[in-house]
Amino acid sequence: MADTQPPEQPPSDQSQEQGEDGGPTKSALKKAAKAAEKEKKAAEKAAKQKELAQQKADSDVDYAVENYGALPLNQSQSRPRIQRDEIHTLSNRVGEKILVRARVQTSRAQGNKMVFLNLRQKTDSIQALLVVTPEKVSKQMVKWAASLADESIVLVEGTAEKTSEPIKSATVSDVEIHISKIHLISGLDARLPFSVEDATRPDDLTRADNESDISAEVQFKRVLLETRLNNRVIDLRTTTNQAIFKLQGAIGDLFREYLSARGFIEIHSPKLQGAATESGASVFQVSYFKGKAFLAQSPQLAKQMAIAADFERVYEIGPVFRAEDSNTHRHMTEFIGLDLEMAIEEHYHEVMETLDGMLKNIFSGLRDKYKKEIETVQRQYPADDFKWREGPEGTLVLSFREAVDILVEDGVPREDLDDFSTANEKRLGVLIKKKYDTDYYIIDKFPMELRPFYTMPDPEDPTLSNSYDFFMRGEEILSGAQRIHDPNLLCEKMRSKGVDPDSMKSYVDGFRMGCPPHGGGGIGLERVLMLFLKLNNIRRASLFPRDPKRLEP
């Protein structure tokens, strides 16, 4: 029987990976090295992923969550009496902690770690800076602050820090706020019709320092007056308008102070009247139960009746209504009148001089006490400073005839000057400024036919009157006169002007019982403000203007 041999077996892996001396082959060594390298890279990747996951987990923890966000609706839940600061004081607070409530005028993020805010209060603005700071200011906090809508109201806590160079975009240019906390008090629920920053830009582009500034300026949107008035609440937020209406309030204060110091009493007369004050053509008629009434064109009748009642000297600040369909730069259907009336001892120029002194007190008071506000307005509406005579020569006073002569000398036909048109008024103002270097002057002795029925005639020439107008920059701002205090002469003049004395019986009866000689004047508050600042349109000097085409807002 033949021997049976087992089949040949292939060499094992181990035998293949072993050299002749029993050690690993070169290929085995390479394979092991690759495996080790792969395991090392996998371990490194896993470690990196673990590190990133930990970083993400750490970043998801917002350590500044208490330092920002929207505050609960203020329903007067508490009153901790924490002092709030005003922006205009912060130049003197360097290094100190401050707390400010302000509007966000603009915001500008730089990456995800820094945001600049321009904060505004009334006429003042300041730059604020929020930067990511470990354990204090997080990225989430910066991102939230950068997302705040313009015009949001915020409560900001931080420190006032000196800046290395002036900040041109803020009125407070030498310090900035480094924010540590910022909370939203009131956000926006609608889209802004225009930005407050655009609405504050100068109208006169030639004020730019160079051509590149001009080129940059024209890229911005211009906000038209009609758009402003249609969205007046937003428009009034501009630093310019904040200054304008601070100056308007100052005019009223200066008017009161001057007259109260000279024995005048403030009165408040009714604005509903049973008859027209001056002429039916320019009066608003309203229904009054089963009859009709008229809105007062001025407090004229009430002022005179107060003098007849021995008040001696009175003034009033109140609304005046004129139903004149005049769509001009200087007319409104409702405006604020500054009126005064006073008894005369000897001559009606006593009244004219009192009015003159009062107006010059207003001019100097605005210039001396409100320089900052005037400069704020002039940045947007550049104008020459208003000029008036302050020396011993006194205010320039011309007679109506002298004023006519000045215009005739300049080429205006005399037959066109029975009264002054708006164009001739302005022309006269230019001529007077050139000749006398003043924006403010008085014209006396107007023709009788141009004045209302209660104006006293001149004693020597009955075609003239004891009346005067005051002018600023070539436009009338005050009309006044000596009034007729004799009832018989008053009735005569009323009839000559087409007014039935019986229709104003209570007014005429006040003079039948004895009344001292007296006179006064009425001033348009908005017109004085417009011309002092040279705003060029009276609507800019009225909070919510009323004209033949506007009853809203």
pLDDT higher at 207 or 447: 447
Alpha-carbon Rg for the chain in angstroms: 39
Which is nearest to 91 in space by CA: 29, 173, 149, 16? 173
SS3 373: helix
Amino acid sitting at position 544: F
Query: Is the preceding omega at residue 553 within 30 degrees of 0, hence cis?
Result: yes
- Pairwise CA distance, residues 197 & 120, whole Å: 11
pLDDT at 170: 94
pLDDT at 278: 61
Q: For 263, list phi and psi in degrees, rounded to 5.
A: 85, 15
- Pairwise CA distance, residues 277 & 297, whole Å: 6
Pair 482, 342: CB distance under 8 Å: no
Q: Which pLDDT band holds residue 36 (cuts at 50, 70, 90)? A: confident
Q: Which pLDDT band holds residue 282 (cuts at 50, 70, 90)? A: confident
- State mean pLDDT over 406-420: 87
Pair 334, 357: CB distance under 8 Å: no
Q: Which pLDDT band holds residue 418 (cuts at 50, 70, 90)? A: confident
Q: 221 — alpha (psi -120 to 50), left (phi > 0) or beta?
A: beta
Q: Which pLDDT band holds residue 230 (cuts at 50, 70, 90)? A: very high
- State mean pLDDT over 285-311: 93
SS3 450: helix
pLDDT above 90 for 217: no
Q: What's the maximum distance between 2 C-alpha atoms anywhere in the chain?
A: 176
- State mean pLDDT over 3-24: 57
pLDDT at 30: 78
DSSP single-letter state for residue 467: E
- State mean pLDDT over 362-387: 96
Q: Which pLDDT band holds residue 216 (cuts at 50, 70, 90)? A: very low
Q: Which helix (H) or strand (E) holds 102?
A: strand 97-110
- Other beta carbons less than 10 A from residue 152's beta carbon: 19
pLDDT at 363: 98
- Pairwise CA distance, residues 298 & 314, whole Å: 14
pLDDT above 90 for 340: yes
pLDDT at 281: 54
Pair 378, 512: CB distance under 8 Å: no
Average pLDDT, the chain: 89
Q: Which helix (H) or strand (E) holds 423?
A: helix 422-436
- Pairwise CA distance, residues 3 & 8, whole Å: 15
Instruction: Report long-range pairs for 547-552 (Cβ below 8 Å, ≥24 apart).
Output: 547/327, 547/331, 547/332, 547/333, 548/324, 548/325, 548/326, 548/327, 548/333, 549/327, 550/229
Which is nearest to 523 in space by CA: 324, 299, 294, 325? 299
Catalytic positions:
322, 324, 330-331, 476, 479, 527
> Among residues of the chain, what percentage have pLDDT more than 90?
76
- State mean pLDDT over 479-490: 95
Q: CA–CA distance from 81 to each of 78, 88, 153, 179, 465 (Å)?
A: 9, 21, 19, 21, 62
Pair 438, 471: CB distance under 8 Å: no
pLDDT higher at 222 or 130: 130
- State mean pLDDT over 196-210: 68
Strand partners, 336: 319
pLDDT above 80 for 157: yes
Its pTM stands at: 0.84
CA atoms within 13 A on the CB side of 61: 8
The single residue listed with the structure tokens 């803020």 is 170
**Residues comprising the chain, all counted:** 553
Q: Which pLDDT band holds residue 124 (cuts at 50, 70, 90)? A: very high
pLDDT at 48: 81
End-to-end CA distance of the chain: 128
Amino acid sitting at position 516: P
Highest mean pLDDT among 7-11, 53-57, 440-444: 440-444
Q: 69 — alpha (psi -120 to 50), left (phi > 0) or beta?
A: left
pLDDT at 212: 42
pLDDT higher at 46 or 63: 63
- State mean pLDDT over 487-506: 91
- Pairwise CA distance, residues 332 & 323, whole Å: 9
pLDDT at 213: 42
Q: Which pLDDT band holds residue 205 (cuts at 50, 70, 90)? A: very low
pLDDT at 207: 42
Give the burial class of 22: count Cβ atoms within 10 A of its Cβ; 0-12 exposed, 13-18 middle, 19 or more buried.
exposed
Q: What angle do CA 538, 526, 317 make, to 5 degrees?
A: 155
Strand partners, 547: 550
Pair 302, 268: CB distance under 8 Å: no
Q: For 145, list phi and psi in degrees, rounded to 5.
A: -65, -40
